Amino acid sequence: MLTAKNNVATLRAEVLTKVAQSFLQNNFADIEGLPTVIAADDKKPLRGSVAKDRQVLKEQIVSVLGFTPENEDLTRSLADFTQEALKRKSAPTATVSVLPSACAACKKTCFTVTDMCRGCVARPCEVNCPKKTITVEDKAFIHQENCIKCGMCANVCPYGAINKAPVPCEDACPVGAISKDENGFEHIDYNKCVSCGKCLVSCPFGAIVYNSQMIDVLNQIKTSGKKVVAMLAPAIVGQFGNDIGKVITALKQIGFAEVVEVAEGADVTTMKEAAEFIERMEQGEPFMTTSCCSAWFKSTETLVPELAHYVSSTKTPMYYIAEIVKNKMPDCITVFVGPCLAKRIEAERDPNVDYVLVFEEISAILAGSGINVAACEAASFEHVSSAQGRIYPVTGGVAGAVAHIVGDKMECKREAIDGLNKEAFRKLKMYAAKKSAGEYNLIEVMCCEGGCVGGPGCVVTPKKSAIMVENYVKASPDLKDMQGNK
């Protein structure tokens, strides 16, 4: 996976900001010229030519406007796309897609021998190769036609002289949903894809995009005449400075009528999931997994159905906060704001969630609006959520919250799957096959390493965000005390 600081991430942020700015300042009057503004004549091309840069930028802008570029006639003008986007009355179907002109058709994953090879006598690469596809003369040589890409040679080389050259997007995908078509370009299998976004943040060419709902939300704020409510996932702490109260004010300056904390919904999830855990264990179930991660839940439908039985049936914090908001304001428009692209898939199944934005889209809206969060006055949430609800975005937080409420009513032995990958799936499949998780009976599964703070829509590093969340939690009330006061 790429480091957070890279040209692709910077360019994606610039495109989002320019599109938001274009809508907010002149209702897209300048949209046609944005590729030329971003890829100016005096800038060094990133893709070999200015013309290529601008073509890719046009496709990226089309995705920001809510379309899936690979399904569109890209000879159309950007103005045509904006007119169609502004006519939409509901969120476009969420997709993660490959830009036709940006994919570099990377070579297939392979292992290669570097000049560090000494042609040693031990030759562990040759001896341990299961297909006997390595020969050694002056240096080792891998016969690629027979190589099965197991990586054993790289693991045993004493000099670290054998390198893996991966296809970054394929290597990052935990469910094998992305692969090459007949022309060598990447293609996403939507029957497998769980919208985790790992391919998006791994592609060094910026060839993978998500179709944004940003313009839809801004247009609803501007034209619907309805209250638009922002529902903030607890991972937002630290994304826009140290004071969540200032973020509340900034979002209201954008035009959100109300700003609520998804941690309030997490408190409901914690209580219900704790009760479900106790019930399942009393019935003799071997283990239960948490249900909050949308990508994990989708995985049990598409990749590991044998694990579906063990997933908690309790709804997610997003579900419960949206239900609370809609009960109070039935005619409002709800917008989940978080780090997760997979929440858009969950929202399509939830009639109470109208739109989903990720933090980088909010960052773009703030920049496009000229709003300085640090200069805002601090506000507060109407409802105060618990420490247990606010710790959800950090690995171990969900299971820890549930175990806290379970207390001494049932022995709770926790395990955290910190990031979905091939090894994690192997472990979980083994649990399902054996109908036992060994010593564990409550398994938290998070698709992103570090938890939700490591989501693809974040604008700060997971480590920094986790520290800020934990500090926020320390100043929050205990859910047991809050329940006792009811």
- Condensed to tens digits (0 to 9), the pLDDT of residues 130-162 reads 999 999 999 999 999 999 999 999 999 999 999
* 99-103, 246-250, 411-415: segment of lowest average pLDDT: 99-103
Please report the domains of the chain, with CATH numbers, ordered by start residue: 7-105+170-212 (3.30.70.20), 110-165 (3.30.70.20), 217-484 (3.40.950.10)
Instruction: Answer whether 218's CB lies under 8 Å from 347's CB.
Output: no
- Condensed to tens digits (0 to 9), the pLDDT of residues 449-459 reads 999 999 999 99
Indicate the average pLDDT of the chain: 95
Read off the pLDDT band of 486 (50, 70, 90).
low
State pTM to two decimals: 0.94
| Residue reference for tokens 């858009």 | 344
Instruction: Kindly report the backbone phi and psi dihedral angles of residue 86, in degrees, each rounded to the nearest multiple of 5, phi listed first.
Output: -75, -10
- Condensed to tens digits (0 to 9), the pLDDT of residues 434-483 reads 999 999 999 999 999 999 999 999 999 999 999 999 999 999 999 999 98
Judged against a pLDDT cut of 70, whether residue 101 lies above it is answered with yes
Query: What tokens appear for 338 in the block?
Result: 């978080």
Summarize the confidence of residues 267-293 as an average pLDDT.
96
Spatial CA neighbour of 227 closest among 330, 154, 319: 330
- Which pLDDT does position 220 carry in this prediction? 98
Percent of the chain with pLDDT over 90: 95
Judged against a pLDDT cut of 60, whether residue 301 lies above it is answered with yes
- Condensed to tens digits (0 to 9), the pLDDT of residues 216-269 reads 999 999 999 999 999 999 999 999 998 999 999 999 999 999 999 999 999 999
- Condensed to tens digits (0 to 9), the pLDDT of residues 170-220 reads 999 999 999 999 889 999 999 999 999 999 999 999 999 999 999 999 999
- Which pLDDT does position 291 carry in this prediction? 84
Read off the pLDDT band of 5 (50, 70, 90).
confident
> What residues contact residue 426 under an 8 Å CB cut-off, 6+ apart?
none
> What residues contact residue 28 under an 8 Å CB cut-off, 6+ apart?
22, 79, 82, 86
Judged against a pLDDT cut of 60, whether residue 485 lies above it is answered with no
Summarize the confidence of residues 398-418 as an average pLDDT.
97
Summarize the confidence of residues 103-118 as an average pLDDT.
94
- Which pLDDT does position 245 carry in this prediction? 97
∠410-411-415 over CA atoms, to 5°?
A: 125
Summarize the confidence of residues 74-92 as an average pLDDT.
97
Distance CA 302, CA 173 (A): 14
Judged against a pLDDT cut of 60, whether residue 344 lies above it is answered with yes
Read off the pLDDT band of 53 (50, 70, 90).
very high
Judged against a pLDDT cut of 60, whether residue 433 lies above it is answered with yes
- If one compares 450 and 4, the residue with the highest pLDDT of the two is 450
Angle of helix 359-369 versus helix 244-254 axis, rounded to 10: 60
- Condensed to tens digits (0 to 9), the pLDDT of residues 23-41 reads 999 999 999 999 999 999 9
